[in-house]
Structure 1
Amino acid sequence: MRVGVIRFPGSNCDRDVHHVLELAGAEPEYVWWNQRNLDHLDAVVIPGGFSYGDYLRAGAIAAITPVMDAVRELVREEKPVLGICNGAQILAEVGLVPGVFTVNEHPKFNCQWTELRVKTTRTPFTGLFKKDEVIRMPVAHAEGRYYHDNISEVWENDQVVLQFHGENPNGSLDGITGVCDESGLVCAVMPHPERASEEILGSVDGFKFFRGILKFKG
């Protein structure tokens, strides 16, 4: 399975994601911000980092690059798209997932391990988990607080992917820290599954996100 790893100026988790995709058995390839055609890919991951230095707000400049038009086309072709941290902010910025990820309740960079509850298993990335399974992955962000004007609609549509279990470190509404579009194929998560994909890192819970892409049958 050919999976694109999108790179913007300021991306810094791209190599981590590429490495874990290889471990999972995929054929990852780097994709630059100015590429306009991704038809040869089976899925895409938008990794974390600080695209364009987070100027204006996180994800705002990356959202208007040519590659995001190509990502929209992949979505129309019903191919899986995963955004991690800055990637999640970008997906929210372009409207491919509901709501926004904004400045943390305590406005500072937050880097810590968190416990999370998997709230839906209908996405390609969470299909190997059990509903309400508690997993462990780290967060690392300054703008990760989730907000939506009509939060009940997100719950009713089964679009909540991850929810903080116990401590809510950034003040996200309802502790939500991962959402998907209505189809479930586009998923935006603030925690870093690639940083929890090998025993040496302290958790392998995140590895299932990448194995799940390969198990997906479109």
Structure 2
Amino acid sequence: MKAAVIVFPGSNCDRDVAVALEASMGAKPLMVWHRDTQLPDLDLIVVPGGFSYGDYLRCGAMAAHSPIMREVKAKAEAGTRVLGICNGFQILTETGLLPGVLMRNRNLKFICKDVHLRVENGDTDFTRAYGAGHIVRFPIAHAEGNYFTDAETFRAMEGNGQVAFRYCSRTGAVGEAANPNGSLSNVAGIYNATKTVLGLMPHPERLAEDLLGGSDGKKMFDSLVEALT
């Protein structure tokens, strides 16, 4: 499998996800600077977490106009798998590769803690190693993770299986008590219509080996390797 990680000024999770990818792939991913304009043939592109451009203007808004994102968008539209994590999710919504927006957290504060997620669609290249209904623990670290879209769009998304993960309790219950940021319907991650692009606010790369305190995130990278190799 050939993978690349996009690096923006302000990225702080690019190396983390590169380490997680290498552990699953057995090879280092390509690290691509945001000012580059071309990408080789790839199976996977990761838009990592962090604070691209210092989160000025609006989270992900400036990064969405970086030269490399035109190429990322073209590759995604041609079917290359794209994974956007946290700030990467925000960037993907800003480019239009994913529907909706990420707004300020309900409590208007930065939240950094582990959360539980329920896998809603386990039949994609990103989640087959989990399966639908599986409960995982990933960390979150964001101030703008409150997902929103209009009601008509969301009905269509749910009907098409585009909700990837929902925030839940340790036992899998979905409700307000398990919603850390006010996200619509407890949404923690979504797909595009063809399930080739995934954006999620929690960080699978931060719990991808037992030395980090858990390895639930590793299955996402293992799933991608199995599907794309």
Question: Is 2:211 the partner of 1:200?
Answer: yes
Identity of aligned residues (%): 46
Give the equivalent residue in structure 2 for 1:113: 114
Give the equivalent residue in structure 2 for 1:174: 185
Question: Is 2:22 the partner of 1:19?
Answer: no
TM, length-normalised to structure 2: 0.92
Question: Is 2:75 the partner of 1:74?
Answer: yes
Give the equivalent residue in structure 2 for 1:134: 135
Kept after mapping to 1: 8 A contact 2:106/2:181 = yes
Question: Is 2:169 the partner of 1:158?
Answer: no
Query: Could you give the per-residue CA deviations for residues 65-96 of structure 1, whole angstroms, max 9, x where no partner exists?
Result: 11111111111221110000000000011111
Q: Determine helix, strand or coil for the equivalent of 2:29.
A: strand
Alignment of 1:63-102 (within 5 A): 63-102=64-103
Q: RMSD across aligned C-alpha pairs, in angstroms? A: 1.2
Query: Can you give the 5+ residue segments of structure 1 that lack an aligned partner in the other structure?
Result: none
Question: Is 2:69 the partner of 1:58?
Answer: no
The list of structure 1 runs, each at least 4 consecutive aligned residues, that deviate by more than 6 angstroms after superposition, is none
Greater mean alpha carbon deviation, residues 80-89 or residues 93-102: 93-102
Separation in structure 2 between the aligned mates of residue 42 and residue 131 of structure 1, nearest angstrom: 24
Give the equivalent residue in structure 1 for 2:48: 47
**Alignment coverage as a number of residue pairs:** 218
TM, length-normalised to structure 1: 0.97
Kept after mapping to 2: 8 A contact 1:39/1:74 = no
1:187 to 188, 192, 198: 198
Query: Could you give the per-residue CA deviations for residues 23-60 of structure 1, whole angstroms, max 9, x where no partner exists?
Result: 00243010010121113322100110000000011000
Query: Can you give the 5+ residue segments of structure 2 that lack an aligned partner in the other structure?
Result: 170-177
Kept after mapping to 1: 8 A contact 2:123/2:131 = no
